[in-house]
Amino acid sequence: MTIRVELNPEMERQLAAEALGRGVAREVYAQRLLREAIASRSKGHRRASQEEFRAFLDALASKASNLPQLRKETFPREMIYGEHA
């Protein structure tokens, strides 16, 4: 199947630069990108690893400079775990 895709100049420049950096033709690189995009969608959503989740939380926290720092005593273990503490 042949598909014609119109790219804006910036997308075309970026595609050409990335293809050149990988040593492949633009068409081959575009086909590879499309194949990878389709494959990632068919796999569904995977769970983030503990490291990925920690990195996400760290990035989220770094954007929230006005959050107050809470003391450990603010939420005692018993309040969180109840009878299971």
Number of other residues whose CB lies within 10 A of the CB of residue 41: 9
Q: Domain extents for the chain?
A: 1-62
- End-to-end CA separation in angstroms for the chain: 62
Could you tell me the pTM of the whole model? 0.48
Which token pair is 30? 């575009």
pLDDT grade for 45, boundaries at 50, 70 and 90: low
Q: What are the tens digits of pLDDT across the range 14-31?
A: 999 999 999 999 999 999
Percentage of the chain modeled with pLDDT above 70: 79
Closest CA to 19 of 7, 3, 33, 39: 33
Flag whether pLDDT at 85 surpasses 60: no
